Amino acid sequence: MADDALLTIGDFARASGLTPKALRLYDDMGLLVPVEVDPVNGYRRYARHQLDRARLVARLRLAGMPLARIRTVADLPPAAAAAELTSYRRQVEADAATARRIVADLVEELSPEEEPMSHAPTTPFTSAARAGIGGRDTQLDAVRVDGALVAVADGFGHTPDVSEAALAALGQPGSVAELDDAVRRAADAVVAAAGHPDDGTTITALVLAGREVLVAHLGDSRAHLVREGRLERLTRDHTVVQTLVDEGRLSADEARLDDRRVLLNRALGTSTSAHPDLAIRVTEPGDRFVLTTDGVHAVLDPAALAAFLTMDAAPGVVVDAVADAVTAAGAPDNWSVVVVDLEG
């Protein structure tokens, strides 16, 4: 393509890291105006020299900067823009410190002095798991179903054993505090097993404790609950794209096509946080819990996956159906699925 050739909104979106929806909004705001708009069909076209400004806007939006301030920064010469960004960073750090203090106070107020251990018997359950290497040369996914613990890990980097090491280090936690500590042990195991600074893994773990399920999660593997035929996600992806979705800057459909969907901002690794999301949910007889790695939920259409996970069938039948669907879809990545059914 010639350097002076105009780009369609789709090509410009892919090259800049913005979405067509965002580009239309920024045009309306005067922040990023196309050089040409077809008077008949309204198609927008952009010049290649606008990509630098567009990429700056994309990065600042990813950092959470309000659009009005982005307009200011984008219109400044480099030295002045750097000064404005320094001011913004300092305010972000101050705001984050304030939020941490507020949340820490609330955690202290709401936490019991001593975490009660559940003495109720855990509801009996049946389970099944399947995993595959997909189109990769190495299997970096790992699955553990061991007593009351069910977990998956999706490794990344250069060392195959990192995800297995993480799951092996979890032990058998019986409370949410113990589960939190278990994930920190898993983080230490990842660091010990890693052969390269880029090695790491996601981790999503459930513990069936009495009439509760305890959840710990880091990364973009997922835990799901099926109750009375309805599917609910119990975890939030720790990706930059999920943040954009949460803030309403990207739709779920756009997120599935966004190249940044694989960029994790929390996971177990040599340079990432070992502090997981934690949750406690009361279980009901007949509940189904499902764990998947992104080789499943990033490949299958959400509606199709929901249909499989809500099947009125035994766990083995469900995981086989998911496995067949992933394979039929090309299985480009390692994949894992675990289904746990509580007795009804």
Cα–Cα distance for residue pair 304/325, rounded to 1 Å: 9
Q: Please, are residues 54 and 22 in contact by the beta-carbon 8 Å criterion? A: no
Cα–Cα distance for residue pair 2/42, rounded to 1 Å: 23
So what's the pLDDT on residue 187?
A: 95
So what's the pLDDT on residue 229?
A: 95
**Whole-prediction pTM:** 0.77
Residue found under tokens 């010990």: 192
CATH 1.10.1660.10 domain range(s) in the chain: 7-75
- How do the pLDDT tens digits run along the chain, 344 residues long? 555 789 999 999 999 988 898 899 899 989 999 999 999 999 999 999 999 999 999 889 878 888 889 999 999 999 999 999 999 999 989 988 999 999 999 988 888 765 555 556 678 999 999 999 999 999 999 999 999 999 999 999 988 899 999 999 999 999 999 999 999 999 999 999 998 888 999 999 999 999 999 999 999 999 999 999 999 999 999 987 777 777 776 667 666 666 667 788 899 986 767 789 999 999 999 999 999 999 999 999 999 999 999 999 999 999 999 999 999 999 999 999 999 999 98
So what's the pLDDT on residue 156?
A: 94
So what's the pLDDT on residue 249?
A: 65
Selection from 272, 341, 338 nearest residue 131 by Cα = 338
Cα–Cα distance for residue pair 7/12, rounded to 1 Å: 6
- Architecture category of domain 125-342 in CATH: 4-Layer Sandwich (3.60)
DSSP 120: S
Q: Please, are residues 130 and 319 in contact by the beta-carbon 8 Å criterion? A: yes
Show the DSSP H helices in the chain as ranges: 9-16, 20-29, 51-62, 67-74, 78-110, 162-168, 176-193, 240-246, 252-257, 294-297, 302-309, 315-328
Residue found under tokens 């009005």: 68
So what's the pLDDT on residue 64?
A: 81
DSSP for 244-291, written as a single string = HHHTTSS-HHHHHH-GGGG-BSS-EETTS----EEEEEE--TT-EEEE
Selection from 28, 89, 36, 27 nearest residue 54 by Cα = 27
Instruction: For residue 309, count CB atoms less than 10 angstroms from its CB and return exposed for 0-12, middle for 13-18, buried for 19 or more.
Output: buried
So what's the pLDDT on residue 246?
A: 76
Q: Which fold has domain 7-75?
A: Multidrug-efflux Transporter Regulator; Chain: A; Domain 2 (1.10.1660)
Instruction: For residue 229, count CB atoms less than 10 angstroms from its CB and return exposed for 0-12, middle for 13-18, buried for 19 or more.
Output: exposed
CATH 3.60.40.10 domain range(s) in the chain: 125-342
Measured distance between the N- and C-terminal CA atoms of the chain, rounded to whole angstroms: 62
Q: Please, are residues 266 and 217 in contact by the beta-carbon 8 Å criterion? A: no
